[in-house]
Structure 1
Amino acid sequence: MTSIFERVMGEDFTRLHPQLQRRFGVGLDRGEACIGRGIMTQIRRGPWWTVPFLQIGRLRNILIPDTGTDVPFVIENYPYLDPYGRETVTFVREYAIGARRRRFDATMVHDAGRIVDYLGTHQHLAVDLDLAVDEDGALVLTSHAQRFYEGPVAFAFPLLFSGRARLREWFDDTEERFHVDLEVHNERFGFLFGYRGSFTCEWTPASHIPARLLPRRHERRT
């Protein structure tokens, strides 16, 4: 069984830089997890009126309201089988902004030929992802339709009231480091949130996923 990313990307997966192939090849078949440690050279947000929106997201580890430079962070990617039998990979990021610790939780699953990214501690938001490879062998991830799920409540978020993310991740052979650049924009209001930084990775057996990385609730609906 190939990783969820390789299944969705097909032949394009082989165009990724070899280090990215290993990083996004994390899966149950390979039996290893990836832990990245590095520095966010910049974390920024949009105008003042974006702060309440970001503060609400902070409550469920979806967005962070803080800004900073040279912020230490860790990202942990562990594969596991969720309660509905879907192979899942964690993308849990933790930032140390001064004395504060912030988390940005995401879990990605393969569903009907696509990657669905569940955001937050309770998988309230489900986001469709488009995965592409650019001419430098970098992964370019773009978010699309978003759905909100809470108990019996379910509805699609109009893009007017949500953000669209574009993330580019690449590997620098000279520095021997991964680099990442993310921006989240709203179609009407512009820039909301973004970060850029670099990190190194270590791979570890994925026979046991730390409980702190699991969402508090798994959502069946995609």
Structure 2
Amino acid sequence: MTGVFERALGADFANLHPKVRERLALSGGRGMIGHGVMDRIWRGRHFTLPFLWLGSARHILFPDCGRNVPFTIENYPYVDGHGRETLSFVRTFEFPRRRRRFDAQMVYSPGRGLVDYLGTHQHLAVDLAVTARPDGGFRIRSGEFRLQEGPLRTRLPRVLTGTATVDEWFDPVAGLFRIEVAVVNPRFGPVFGYEGSFAATYVDVGGGVSGAVKPLREKVMD
């Protein structure tokens, strides 16, 4: 199988740094676990707290802040219950008093490109635009958000969601992947973000992917 990022980037996939290509070319029986530290995790002003607390209930964002927070990312390719090739993006942050997770599952849609299903119940889906950076890294920028909860199905206006930007690249001096994430709302400004680094270990998932990184419910909104 061709990985979801390779399909989304097309010819630009060849412009990525070799280490970044290796990281994103996950498909079939090969996955990746990254271990590192987030140098800084931040949130916006006090009025962002209710939104972040609500998201934490389903592993979408969280209100905690900190520095030098141990971090793990799990990227496992698998075929979901709807027959879609899927790549998990399960991020775990080990704060001193609690563990936080930020879960997403990426699929490639011929009509939309890369689509991110967020959280434990996939009630939010967001279109993603991915591009190669001049340094061989990549940038992901969020587009339209769609909500499906029970009978409710709707597109969410930008004023309620904002834009998420993810930059990731390989630092050859440190031998680590660097990452910067920022969520910004057009009306309220910065909402949430983090920045840090991690080392990648590649693992065999030929025996199947653990249900611990899969959502509790799978939906189709692509």
| TM-score normalized by the length of structure 1 | 0.97
- Aligned-residue offset at 1:184: 0.4
- Aligned-residue offset at 1:27: 1.0
Percent sequence identity is: 45
Q: Distance in 1 between matches of 2:133 and 2:21?
A: 14
* Counterpart residue type for residue 27 of structure 1: S
- Aligned-residue offset at 1:99: 2.2
Q: Distance in 1 between matches of 2:192 and 2:220?
A: 28
- Aligned-residue offset at 1:220: 1.8
Partner of 1:25: 25
Partner of 2:87: 89
Q: Distance in 1 between matches of 2:221 and 2:214?
A: 17
- Aligned-residue offset at 1:41: 0.2
Q: Distance in 2 between matches of 1:163 and 1:45?
A: 14
- Aligned-residue offset at 1:4: 1.0
- Contact persistence 2:146–2:221 (CA under 8 A): no
Partner of 1:164: 163
* Counterpart residue type for residue 64 of structure 1: F
* Counterpart residue type for residue 32 of structure 1: R
* Counterpart residue type for residue 148 of structure 1: L
CA offsets per residue over residues 148-168 of structure 1, 9 Å max, x none?
Answer: 011221100000111210110
Q: Distance in 2 between matches of 1:163 and 1:200?
A: 30
CA offsets per residue over residues 8-29 of structure 1, 9 Å max, x none?
Answer: 111101101111101110112x
Unaligned 5+ segments in structure 1 are none
Q: Distance in 2 between matches of 1:221 and 1:201?
A: 31
Q: Distance in 2 between matches of 1:165 and 1:108?
A: 15
CA offsets per residue over residues 47-81 of structure 1, 9 Å max, x none?
Answer: 01101110000000001110000000100000110
Pick from 41, 44, 48 the counterpart of residue 42 of structure 2: 44
After the TM superposition, list the runs of 4 or more consecutive aligned residues in structure 1 that deviate by more than 2 angstroms.
none
| TM-score normalized by the length of structure 2 | 0.97
How many pairs does the alignment contain?
220
Residue 102 of structure 2 corresponds to residue 104 of structure 1: yes
